[in-house]
């Protein structure tokens, strides 16, 4: 067993646990009353990290399809 590898894993796990504890403490402090307006930046940052990045605009292929001009007969006068 590599002791240094085990120590590194334990340190990363400790950092994750400390971050979770801090987040839970912030949530407990924030529940003292109903808040109005935007949520705090730290809360939106954690929620954004969980969600997948969203695409903006129309979905591909929804509109603005090119017209097929090859099938129509064009009369020249």
Q: What share of residues in the chain are helix, strand, coil (percent, to 5)?
A: 50, 0, 50
**What confidence tens digit (pLDDT) does each residue in 21-36 have?**
998 988 888 766 666 7
Distance from C-alpha of 63 to C-alpha of 55, rounded to nearest angstrom: 16
- Chain-wide mean pLDDT for the chain? 77
pTM over 0.75: no
Q: Where are the domains of the chain?
A: 1-32
Q: What is the pLDDT of residue 60?
A: 72
């Amino acid at each position: 067993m590599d002791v240094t590898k085990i120590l590194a894993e334990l340190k990363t796990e400790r950092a994750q646990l400390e971050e979770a504890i801090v987040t839970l403490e912030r949530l407990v402090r924030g529940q003292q009353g109903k808040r109005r307006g935007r949520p705090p930046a730290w809360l939106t940052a954690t929620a954004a990290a969980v969600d997948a990045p969203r695409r903006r605009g129309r979905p591909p292929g929804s509109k603005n399809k090119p017209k097929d001009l090859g099938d129509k007969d064009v009369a020249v006068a």
